[in-house]
Amino acid sequence: MISKSQKKHSYKLNTKLLLLICLFFFITIFFYLNKINFRDRIYPNIYIDGEPIGGLFQSLSYQQLIKKERYLSKTTITFIYQNAPMATLSGQQINIHRNIKNLISESYKIGRHPNLFIRIYQQLITLMKLKKYSFISKIEYNVKPLQELIDIAQQRYEYPSINALFKFKDGRVINFSPEKNGLQIDKIRFWREIEKIISNLKQDELNQVVVLHTIVIQPEITLKQINKFGIRELIAEGKSNYTHSIPERIYNLSLAAYKFDGVLIPTNKIFSFNDTVGDISSLTGYKPAYIIKQGKTVLGDGGGVCQVSTTLFRAALNAGLPINERHAHAYRVSYYENDGQPGFDATVFAPTVDLKFTNNTPAYILIQVENDKDNNLLTFKFYGQKDDRHVIISPVSIYNIQPPLPSENQNDPILKKGIVKQIDFPAWGAKTVFNYQVVAKKDISQNVKFYSNYQPWRAVFLVGQAD
């Protein structure tokens, strides 16, 4: 027979069991209904960038959120190199976008965890709004177009550093080149700026600019390290243009110019053009070309050598060297005014007419010659060691201008009748002067005026007389 206490205990157990069954049934129904209700939908109380996406299908939530990022594809980024545009890429080309799809996928996984207890927990806290899940999107982009742009910039603008070369033999420098810095695109800075700009894009700042910065690459070997003459750097250069020269003249000036290539001028040495160039005649390889001799323009061996002395004179001026001897031509020669005003020429005619200057710099001077025959440009470069001197060359003053002399016809018994040959050309006469001032240590070390007196010149024609 069951006692009252046993009945009471049994009743309590049955009640608890019933409650548990009801609770289990309720929970099962609850989750079943929610599973049906949120099939393919995101559970509630989930946010992306502050926007609620709970209860939405993944596709609908994406459409809702994508509206706010459409401006990203309209963005343009212009890339600048040395103040000039190199390329422009649009947001669409770089595929600038927010990682919304990934976040929606992660949001959809909430309440669908493989672990049963975690899944139930997530469903309860979202459905009962006990916890808020918030996701913040970030901007992403395709690096491939940017990497291709950097590759193009590297191919176009980068170059390696070059070590200095200096080889001395038999009193001349036979192999020489100064060191040259290399250049590289600063890729680390580039990617840092790209990341900064794209990560902080705003709807009202769609046009962005990225400057391509460079890194200077120093050579391992410099001039200073490899020579005993104190030669470190380019200190000056002189140029002249010989356009309209006949082939023989170009040949002669080229031959003479390279007599100076590699020549070293010691400190405090007076340099002589004539001593360096040597004998100018057909015996040393020169061809006949027009020269000024005894007041006439005639064919003579070495015509064109004065182009070399003129170029050397200009280099010496630009270096701030004392000019010991210089002579102007008898009349204005057009070659020497191709690239400047009259008065900067220097004629030579051994042994009486020379060009001389003194190397008063702290080191030897090395002469290097460049002859650009494509552009008819002759350049003398002086390498040595700079000091604090400063060169001031005034504008040329041209005065006492005179017209060319009347033309002159000369009978020629060798030319056939009816043939007229011009052997001299008209030129305006003039006097010129410019001031040459060298300032060193705040004192004027040189203050010289260079005068030129160009005679008016007549055209001369040979008239044939022979039958």
Look up residue 180 and give its DSSP letter. B
What count of Cα atoms within 13 Å lies in the side-chain half-sphere of residue 87? 15
Q: What's the whole-number average pLDDT of the chain?
A: 86
Predicted local confidence at residue 303, as pLDDT:
82
Give the 3-state secondary structure of 323-363: EEECCCCCCCCHHHHCCCCCCCCCCCECCCECCEEECCCCC
Predicted local confidence at residue 8, as pLDDT:
56
The two tokens of residue 420 are 């007229």
Instruction: Pick the most confident of 87-101, 105-119, 383-397, 412-426.
Output: 383-397
Residue 139 in this model has a pLDDT that exceeds 90: no
Predicted local confidence at residue 37, as pLDDT:
64
Higher pLDDT, 442 or 133: 133
How would residue 243 be classed by pLDDT, with cut points 50, 70 and 90?
A: very high
Residue 341: partners with Cβ closer than 8 Å, 6 or more residues away: 395, 396, 398, 432
- Residues in the chain, total: 467
How would residue 61 be classed by pLDDT, with cut points 50, 70 and 90?
A: low
Closest alpha carbon to 355 in 316, 390, 320: 316
> Are 347 and 306 in contact, with CB atoms under 8 Å apart?
yes
Residue 38 in this model has a pLDDT that exceeds 70: no
| CA pseudo-torsion sign 422, 423, 429, 435 | positive
Q: What does the alpha-carbon distance between residue 355 and residue 345 come to, in Å, rounded to a whole number?
A: 11
Classify strands 365-372 and 264-265 as parallel, antiparallel or unpaired.
antiparallel
Residue type, 26: F
Residue type, 438: V
| 98-109 residue pLDDT tens | 877 887 788 778
Q: What does the alpha-carbon distance between residue 47 and residue 53 come to, in Å, rounded to a whole number?
A: 6
Residue 40 in this model has a pLDDT that exceeds 90: no
Range of lowest pLDDT (30-39, 70-79, 397-406): 30-39
Residue type, 137: S
Please state, as a whole number, how many other Cβ atoms lie within 10 Å of the Cβ of residue 119.
16
How would residue 156 be classed by pLDDT, with cut points 50, 70 and 90?
A: very high
| 120-138 residue pLDDT tens | 787 777 777 888 888 888 8
Q: Among all chains, which residue has been given the structure tokens 């006692």?
A: 3
Predicted local confidence at residue 163, as pLDDT:
84
Residue type, 187: K
**Across 353-442, where does the E strand assignment appear?**
356-358, 365-372, 377-384, 390-393, 397-402, 408-416, 420-424, 429-440
| 186-218 residue pLDDT tens | 999 999 999 998 888 887 778 899 999 999 999
| 260-312 residue pLDDT tens | 998 889 999 999 999 999 998 888 998 877 666 666 666 667 788 999 999 99
Please state, as a whole number, how many other Cβ atoms lie within 10 Å of the Cβ of residue 289.
21
The two tokens of residue 446 are 């040189």
Higher pLDDT, 431 or 57: 431
Predicted local confidence at residue 221, as pLDDT:
80
What is the mean pLDDT of the segment spanning 428-433?
Answer: 95
Residue type, 453: N
What own/partner pairs with CB < 8 Å and gap ≥ 24 does 90-96 have? 93/145, 94/141, 94/142, 94/145, 94/146, 94/198, 95/141, 95/142, 96/72, 96/139, 96/140, 96/141, 96/198, 96/201
Residue 462 in this model has a pLDDT that exceeds 70: yes
Residue type, 396: V
Q: Among all chains, which residue has been given the structure tokens 């109380």?
A: 45
